[in-house]
């Protein structure tokens, strides 16, 4: 299943500051990425912060992307795209969505549990250190 | 002006104020009051009007100022300003300017590294010669190894240690190849091999 959105559209929205980062997500992004403000998260993504990103295929039973569980208008599903990316030695998970008529919403920023990508980020980081 | 939920567009939004604390490394924690909006329709919670960013940045800036003072004070305990300026190739009286609060983010970052790893100044003093830099890394590792709190429950324990030059791994003048097997818990065991050059005046 391909991503529901084009990543470059999300990055462009970040560059324009047209995103909303909920309080709970900001609380996690602060210690993890040093981004304490919504603008800091937007700048991070807009400036290529999602290094070596990898789309995370949906893990739902029907293979469909995850949808917004609090969607007040469930007839129009709002899909959530999920990615893992490298941040130094860390591997970070980010999820975002775009409700119709609304701005982009960052649903989650937290440490990734994708073992393959975690190892990939660590290997890359070590490789860079050896240089 | 009505505030709308950025996720669902609803105007059914409630407001409250929350207290949050921010701090930077070496800086004092600074508390500020932030606006919190909560959408009653989709449960989105946060700063809908984006008024908090400026307050958070101000709190972080205040913490950065206290960090700068703390870092300069700590650096003053082991290095003279003129020495630091000379080895780092900074213009004279740069650090005096920093002491008045006029330091860039890059300067504060540099100070954090110097205070955490004071031996970086010696690396700079030797004009960043790779071999000298390696020597300092090995010495820093040895010093850190000796500083470990061996009595703490989660501290590593030396499972075995061998030294080809006949020196113990924790001795002040370890020379030659030293292999130390550390165990930090029942699950993890790590092996560290140190290739150290003989200390001055000591035969390997």
Q: Checking phi first, is residue A104 left (phi over 0); if not, alpha (psi -120 to 50) or beta?
A: beta
Judge: B41–A99 Cβ closer than 8 Å, yes or no: no
pLDDT higher than 60, residue A97? yes
Per the CB < 8 Å rule, is B6 touching A20?
Answer: yes
- Would you say residue B151 lies in a domain? yes
Distance in angstroms (rounded) separating the CA atoms of residues B91 and B69: 20
Q: What does the pLDDT look like over A7-50, one tens digit per residue?
A: 999 999 999 999 999 999 999 999 999 999 999 999 999 999 99
Does residue B33 sit within a domain? yes
Among B84, B99, B122, the domain-final residue is B122
Do the Cβ atoms of B56 and A37 come within 8 Å?
A: yes
| Residue B150: predicted pLDDT | 63
Give A14 to chain B, closest Cα distance, Å. Answer: 14
Helix pair angle (A38-46, B52-76), 10° resolution: 80
Does residue B55 sit in the same domain as residue B96? yes
Query: How confident is the model at residue A76, as a pLDDT?
Result: 92
- Interchain proximity A20–B56, CB inside 8 Å: no
- B176 min Cα distance to partner chain A (Å): 22
Is B42–A36 a contact, with Cβ atoms under 8 angstroms apart?
no
Residue B27's domain spans which residues? 13-122
The torsion defined by the Cα of B111, B113, B119 and B121, in degrees rounded to 10, comes to -40
Query: Residue B159's pLDDT is what?
Result: 55
Domain assignment present for B45: yes
Is the same domain home to B21 and B116? yes
Q: Based on the number of CB atoms within 10 Å of its own CB, is B176 exposed (0-12), middle (13-18) or buried (19 or more)?
A: middle
The count of structural domains within chain B is 2
Among residues B122, B137, B171, which one ends one of the domains? B122
Looking at residue B98, its pLDDT comes to 96
Residue to test with chain A: of B3, B6, B50, most A Cβ within 10 A: B6
Mean pLDDT of A79-86: 95
pLDDT at residue number B167: 42
Q: Are A19 and A104 in contact (CB under 8 A)?
A: yes
In a domain, B1, yes or no: no
Same domain, B20 and B83: yes
Q: For position A98, what pLDDT does the model report?
A: 95
pLDDT at B147: 77
The pLDDT value recorded for residue A66 is 87
Among A21, A70, A72, the residue with its CB nearest the CB of B46 is: A21
Nearest chain A residue to B36 by CA distance is A23
Q: How far is B29 from chain A (nearest CA, A)?
A: 14
d(CA A109, CA A92): 7
Phi, psi of A91 (to 5 degrees): -115, 125
C-alpha distances in angstroms, B163 versus A75, B16, B196?
71, 64, 11
Same domain, B148 and B190: yes
The model's pLDDT over B129-139, given as tens digits with 9 standing for 90+, comes to 999 999 999 99
- Nearest CB to A37 within list B8, B36, B57: B57
- Write down the pLDDT at residue B183: 52
Whether B84 and B110 share a structural domain = yes
Residues of B with CB under 8 A from a CB of A: 6-10, 22, 36, 41-48, 50, 52-53, 56-57, 60
> Do B96 and B166 belong to one domain?
no
Q: Is the C-alpha dihedral spanning B2, B6, B7, B13 positive or negative?
A: negative
Q: Is B21 exposed, middle or buried (0-12, 13-18, 19+ CB in 10 A)?
A: exposed
pTM equals: 0.78
| pLDDT at position B130 | 93
Q: Are residues B114 and B139 both part of a single domain?
A: no
Residue A72 to residue B47, Cβ atoms within 8 A: no
The counts of H helices and E strands in chain B are 6, 6
Q: What integer pLDDT is reported at residue B153 of this predicted model?
A: 64
In a domain, B43, yes or no: yes
Residue A91 DSSP SS3: strand
CA distance B103 to chain A (A): 20
Low-confidence ranges of chain B (pLDDT < 50): 164-177, 185-188, 194-204
């Amino acid at each position: 299943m391909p991503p529901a959105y084009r990543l470059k559209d999300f990055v462009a929205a970040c560059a324009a500051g047209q995103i909303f980062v909920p309080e709970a997500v900001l609380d996690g992004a602060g210690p993890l990425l040093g981004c304490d403000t919504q603008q800091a998260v937007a700048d991070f993504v807009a400036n290529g912060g999602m290094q070596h990103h990898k789309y995370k295929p949906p893990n739902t039973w029907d293979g469909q992307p995850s949808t917004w569980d609090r969607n007040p208008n469930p007839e129009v599903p709002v899909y959530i795209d999920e990615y893992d990316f490298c941040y130094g030695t860390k591997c970070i998970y980010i999820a975002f969505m775009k409700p119709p008529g609304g701005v982009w919403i960052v649903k989650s920023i937290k440490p990734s549990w994708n073992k393959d990508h975690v190892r990939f980020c660590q290997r890359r980081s070590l490789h860079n250190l050896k240089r | 002006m009505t505030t709308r939920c950025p996720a669902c567009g609803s105007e059914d939004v409630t407001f409250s104020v929350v207290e949050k604390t921010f701090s930077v490394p070496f800086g004092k924690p600074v508390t500020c009051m932030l606006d919190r909006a909560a959408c009653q329709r989709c449960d989105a919670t946060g700063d809908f009007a984006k008024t908090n960013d400026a307050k958070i940045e101000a709190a972080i800036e205040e913490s950065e100022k206290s960090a700068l003072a703390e870092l300069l004070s700590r650096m003053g305990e082991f290095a003279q300003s003129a020495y630091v300026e000379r080895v780092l190739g900074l213009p004279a009286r740069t650090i005096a300017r920093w002491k008045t609060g006029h330091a860039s983010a890059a300067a504060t970052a540099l100070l954090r590294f110097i205070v955490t790893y004071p031996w970086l100044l010696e690396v700079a003093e030797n004009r960043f010669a790779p071999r000298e830099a390696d020597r300092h890394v090995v010495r820093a590792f040895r010093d850190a190894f000796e500083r470990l709190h061996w009595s703490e429950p989660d501290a590593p324990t030396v499972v075995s240690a061998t030294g080809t030059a006949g020196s113990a791994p924790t001795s002040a003048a370890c020379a030659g190849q030293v292999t130390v097997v550390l165990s930090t818990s029942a699950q993890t065991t790590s092996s560290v091999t140190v290739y150290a050059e003989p200390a001055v005046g000591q035969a390997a």
